[in-house]
């Protein structure tokens, strides 16, 4: 009997394995995608493996919601996922079979049994697992990274951290005390929520530090799903760790800190100037600086990247770091009502995903932002951005070579600054989706499968996007075999069969205007799914 069976057998004697009783919703996490890990690796000089020809291991993969879309998007790479929940692995396997993917394997096993017979991996992903397992299993995960990460490999490990988790842990302790005598999972969840409501009500009028802190945390928890609440707060193990302690433990396995998957959290320039200056003075090395930054932010969660201790990490970012880079930026402009910006005015842009803002008067930066906005969700290569800057900024047909070099350097400096401050994202591969609507629109097989049962789909940017009902009906039909007119015909069929109801101002349109309504509706769906990065770029 395998260790996994043994462990499940043991826990079944007492109670069923918690992730079989309350499965964890299995989603894509963009920040754990090899593309993101490779971008940080490239930027910090370690030349990671080509994501189109790599091996990826995910520990605690649940039903493969993160790994399966990666495998579809990178068909020449190999993916292995392991999880201790038999039910979740079986569910993932059903999806793999129905998608016909042959480059991914999900294994029901305890990660402690991963051994060298499984080979080495260029990327190892451990998301939402490390804090919820016993210490000896945590040590084993470091050991797997030490022994089975390829030479320039990158491991992603997310975990709960202090100081932020001191407060959250307090709420966890209170809940666990309250449900200490309950065995049944739904009762434990329901009673924990009841305690939360009681506490929220009891402290709502308390304007002191305790009331305010507790209220903030309680509001956050009220919005979380039952599955999240159960596994985050009611599992036996949940051991947050200070960042410096995590890195010390990793060092014992010859691993070093590469960076954070969310680069902007490493940029102390995002703090007020005096805070950044003090951090620089009191914390000369990166680990200390990150630790003090956590103290300032009261950080609760980290997504840390590790690599071997001999990997040539260099965080001095230069123009050369942008070789082969592509830039994506989803930027909104903040404009005062009724005021149109004039040339020379300062302009403020915000990235709605990271909520980072940037104010600039520099025409080069403004032109670049405009170009990125136009292309989003697709990325533009640095070389194309430079060409665009030349077209817009250089007068005359023949320009001075030193002027051109200075322009390139200035563009590179700005792009690097915008990247580390969370305004734009870098990737080292062209986007595999398109913002233009092709003659035969195609969504990913994963999204088509998901749309059969839910409105929450995995985009080609490896994010969850929520689509409207009409899009949900049309996405499964966008398999690259139908033109827009054929999609309209399919939509008509759905309406005729009574599966969809189309109304205009509360009434069914007559057959003549029905055609126009459907034609317009399909156009709108296509532009929405393109904007949501659901349309695959076809060769
Ligand atoms: C909180 S869930 C996270 C799932 C997924 N990575 C995510 O973030 O959505 C933790 C997962 O780790 C798995 N797990 C816990 N201990 C494990 C072990 N020793 N070996 C393999 N998987 C384990 C659980 O079964 C569960 O599916």
Q: Output the CA–CA distances (angstroms, integers) from residue 448 to 464, 482, 493, 499, 521, in the order listed.
A: 13, 14, 19, 18, 19
Which among 84, 130, 134 is the best mutation to test ligand 1's pocket, defined by most ligand atoms within 8 Å of the CB?
Answer: 84
**CB of 129 closer than 6 angstroms to any ligand 1 atom:** yes
Distance 63 CA to ligand 1 centre (A): 10
Q: Which two tokens stand for residue 257?
A: 């800190």
Spatial separation of the C-alpha atoms in residues 125 and 58, rounded to whole Å:
5
CB 471 within 8 A of CB 463: no
**CB of 82 closer than 6 angstroms to any ligand 1 atom:** yes
Q: Beta partners for 125? A: 58, 156
Which among 83, 114, 115 is the best mutation to test ligand 1's pocket, defined by most ligand atoms within 8 Å of the CB?
Answer: 83
Please, which residues have CB within 8 angstroms of residue 295's CB and are 6 or more apart in sequence? 163
Q: 324's torsion region: left (phi>0), alpha (psi -120 to 50) or beta?
A: left
Q: What is the pLDDT of residue 539?
A: 79
Neighbours of 53 (CB within 10 A): 11
Ligand 1 atom with least separation from CA of 62: 27
Q: What angle do CA 417, 421, 424 make, to 5 degrees?
A: 80
> Nearest CA to 450 among 20, 24, 23, 28?
28
E strand or H helix at 293, and its extent? Answer: helix 286-297
Distance 106 CA to ligand 1 centre (A): 13
Ligand 1 atom with least separation from CA of 110: 20
| End-to-end Cα, the chain, rounded Å | 48
**CB of 62 closer than 6 angstroms to any ligand 1 atom:** yes
Distance 366 CA to ligand 1 centre (A): 44
Phi, psi of 363 (to 5 degrees): -60, -35
**CB of 111 closer than 6 angstroms to any ligand 1 atom:** yes
**CB of 532 closer than 6 angstroms to any ligand 1 atom:** no
Ligand 1 atom with least separation from CA of 129: 10
Ligand 1 atom with least separation from CA of 65: 9
Spatial separation of the C-alpha atoms in residues 350 and 329, rounded to whole Å:
10
Distance 203 CA to ligand 1 centre (A): 35
Q: Are strands 121-126 and 55-59 parallel, antiparallel or unpaired?
A: parallel
Spatial separation of the C-alpha atoms in residues 392 and 407, rounded to whole Å:
11
Q: Which two tokens stand for residue 79?
A: 């993916």
Q: What is the pLDDT of residue 397?
A: 54
Spatial separation of the C-alpha atoms in residues 134 and 151, rounded to whole Å:
28
**CB of 233 closer than 6 angstroms to any ligand 1 atom:** no
**CB of 4 closer than 6 angstroms to any ligand 1 atom:** no
> Nearest CA to 217 among 298, 125, 337?
298
E strand or H helix at 521, and its extent? Answer: helix 511-531
Which among 18, 24, 67 is the best mutation to test ligand 1's pocket, defined by most ligand atoms within 8 Å of the CB?
Answer: 24
* pTM as predicted: 0.92
**CB of 84 closer than 6 angstroms to any ligand 1 atom:** yes
CB 296 within 8 A of CB 287: no
Distance 453 CA to ligand 1 centre (A): 24
**CB of 133 closer than 6 angstroms to any ligand 1 atom:** yes
**CB of 128 closer than 6 angstroms to any ligand 1 atom:** yes
Q: What is the pLDDT of residue 396?
A: 56
Ligand 1 atom with least separation from CA of 137: 19
Please, which residues have CB within 8 angstroms of residue 398's CB and are 6 or more apart in sequence? none
Query: Whose alpha carbon is nearest atom 1 of ligand 1?
Result: 128
Q: List, for the chain, all residue ranges whose pLDDT scores fall below the cut of 70.
A: 1-15, 394-399
The per-residue b/e assignment along 66-87, b for 16 or more CB within 10 angstroms, e otherwise, is bbbbbbbbbeebbbbbbbbbbb
Query: Whose alpha carbon is nearest atom 8 of ligand 1?
Result: 128
Distance 124 CA to ligand 1 centre (A): 14
Spatial separation of the C-alpha atoms in residues 368 and 213, rounded to whole Å:
41
Spatial separation of the C-alpha atoms in residues 69 and 443, rounded to whole Å:
12
Neighbours of 185 (CB within 10 A): 17
Which among 63, 129, 230 is the best mutation to test ligand 1's pocket, defined by most ligand atoms within 8 Å of the CB?
Answer: 129
Q: Output the CA–CA distances (angstroms, integers) from residue 403 to 160, 229, 394, 395, in the order listed.
A: 49, 57, 9, 11
Q: Output the CA–CA distances (angstroms, integers) from residue 457 to 34, 448, 468, in the order listed.
A: 20, 8, 11
Distance 26 CA to ligand 1 centre (A): 10
> Nearest CA to 495 among 473, 527, 475?
473
Going across the sheet that includes 380-381, the strands are 380-381, 326-328, 425-427
Q: What is the pLDDT of residue 391?
A: 87
Ligand 1 atom with least separation from CA of 61: 6
Q: What is the pLDDT of residue 354?
A: 86
**CB of 157 closer than 6 angstroms to any ligand 1 atom:** no
**CB of 114 closer than 6 angstroms to any ligand 1 atom:** no
Q: What sign for the dihedral angle of Cα 55, 56, 59, 62?
A: negative
Q: Beta partners for 119? A: none
């Amino acid at each position: 009997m395998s260790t996994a069976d043994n462990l499940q057998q043991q826990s079944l004697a007492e109670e069923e394995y918690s992730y079989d009783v309350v499965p964890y919703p299995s989603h894509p996490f963009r920040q754990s995608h090899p593309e993101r890990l490779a971008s940080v690796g490239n930027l910090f000089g370690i030349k990671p493996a080509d994501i189109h020809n790599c091996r990826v291991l995910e520990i605690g993969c649940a039903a493969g919601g993160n790994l399966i879309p990666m495998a579809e998007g990178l068909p020449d790479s190999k993916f292995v996922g392991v999880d201790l929940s038999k039910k979740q692995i079986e569910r993932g396997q059903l999806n793999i079979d129905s998608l016909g993917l042959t480059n991914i394997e999900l294994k029901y096993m305890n990660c402690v049994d991963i051994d060298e017979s499984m080979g080495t991996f260029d990327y190892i992903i451990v998301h939402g697992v490390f804090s919820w397992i016993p210490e000896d299993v945590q040590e084993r995960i470091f050991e797997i990274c030490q022994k089975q990460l390829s030479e320039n490999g990158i491991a992603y490990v997310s975990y709960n951290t202090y100081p932020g988790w001191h407060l959250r842990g307090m709420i966890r302790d209170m809940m666990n005390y309250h449900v200490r005598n309950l065995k049944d999972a739904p009762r434990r969840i329901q009673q924990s929520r009841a305690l939360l409501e009681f506490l929220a009500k009891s402290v709502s009028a308390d304007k002191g530090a305790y009331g305010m802190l507790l209220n903030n945390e309680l509001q956050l928890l009220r919005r979380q799903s039952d599955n999240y609440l159960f596994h985050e707060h009611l599992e036996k193990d949940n051991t947050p760790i200070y960042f410096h302690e995590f890195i010390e433990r990793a060092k014992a396995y010859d691993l070093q800190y590469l960076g954070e998957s969310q680069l902007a959290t490493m940029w102390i320039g995002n703090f007020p100037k005096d805070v950044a200056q003090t951090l620089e003075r009191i914390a000369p090395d990166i680990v200390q600086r990150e630790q003090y930054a956590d103290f300032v932010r009261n950080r609760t969660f980290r997504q840390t990247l590790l690599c071997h201790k001999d990997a040539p990490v260099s965080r001095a970012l230069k123009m050369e770091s942008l070789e082969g880079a592509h830039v994506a930026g989803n930027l909104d402009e903040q404009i005062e009502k009724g005021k149109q910006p004039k040339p020379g005015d300062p302009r403020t842009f915000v990235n709605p995903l990271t909520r980072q803002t940037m104010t600039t008067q520099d025409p080069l930066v403004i032109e670049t932002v405009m170009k990125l906005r136009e292309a989003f969700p697709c990325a533009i290569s640095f070389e194309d951005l430079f060409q665009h800057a030349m077209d817009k900024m250089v007068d005359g047909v023949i320009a001075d070579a030193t002027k051109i070099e200075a322009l390139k350097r200035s563009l590179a400096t700005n792009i690097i600054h915008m990247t580390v401050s969370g305004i734009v994202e870098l990737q080292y591969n062209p986007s595999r989706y398109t913002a233009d609507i092709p003659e035969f629109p195609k969504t990913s097989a994963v999204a088509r499968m998901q749309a059969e049962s839910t409105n929450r789909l995995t985009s080609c940017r490896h994010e969850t996007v929520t689509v409207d009902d009409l899009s949900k009906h049309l996405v499964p039909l966008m398999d690259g075999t139908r033109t827009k007119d054929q999609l309209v015909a399919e939509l008509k069929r759905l309406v005729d069969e009574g599966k969809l109801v189309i109304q205009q101002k509360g009434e069914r349109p007559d057959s003549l205007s029905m055609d126009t309504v459907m034609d317009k509706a399909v156009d709108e769906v296509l532009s929405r799914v393109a904007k949501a990065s659901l349309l695959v770029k076809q060769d």
